[in-house]
Amino acid sequence: MIIPAIDLIDGQVVRLYQGDYDKKTAYQLDPVEVVHQYADDGATWLHIVDLTGAKDTNKRQLTLIKKMVDTGRMQFQAGGGIRDERDVSQLLDIGVRRVVIGSLAVKKPELVQQWMTNYGAESVVLALDVNIDDNGNKFIATHGWQENSGVALESLLETFLSFGACHVLCTDISRDGTLQGANEALYEQMVAQFPSVQWQASGGIGSLADIARLKPSGVQGVILGRALLEGKFTVKEAIQCWQDA
């Protein structure tokens, strides 16, 4: 499945390079219009990152996100600095289907596991962003990629599987925003090791060929951000490519 992504700062569509707020590109696009455009092209899910809310949870862009959800054009998964249960319930209450949780899954796994029990594992996407060292160790980064947690991707996932974890969005940080292609080997390995998980691949996809190369890995979802915003290809073309691969 092709899942377009949209990052929002103060109501504006943006992209950050490798998670750095100082390396921001802003696009003159209306987020609600983007929803309609991507839906017209055949997208059935949209991935929303609230970067304003990630910096200050009291400034979460709930009104805008609700406008996007209220179009009824597709399903939505959203996140950005989820820190407490209020953040989760607010997003679910406005119609977001899945809440995307990143750093907190590493820092307070028991809390996130409790939410999975309370709201259903289907309502949670674990966003696990990894730095891969020279020995192939996949360590999860936290705090907007500024810190290495020292926690291995595989060991964290093992603890969440018993709580029904079923959606994992995994980003190889070294590829994010580069348009240099995804890390197919990473996803192939993870799908083989954790076949019950619905994997979403993210980071580095810059061409239709990159999408096609991901298909054999077995990932269920492909997150597309910068490539769509910069017109490398359309959502429609990406969906066709995924179906044909």
Q: Give the residue numbers marked as catalytic.
A: 7, 129
Q: Which of 209, 150, 207, 148 is nearest to 174 (CA)?
A: 148
Dump strand ranges (E) for the chain.
Answer: 2-9, 12-17, 20-27, 45-50, 75-79, 98-101, 124-132, 138-142, 147-152, 167-172, 198-202, 221-224
Dist. CA 120–CA 123, nearest whole Å = 6
Q: Which amino acid is at 155?
A: S
CA distance 42 to 148: 37
Backbone torsions φ then ψ of 105, nearest 5 degrees? -65, -25
Query: 């802003």: which residue's tokens?
Result: 26
Residue 206: DSSP 8-state: -
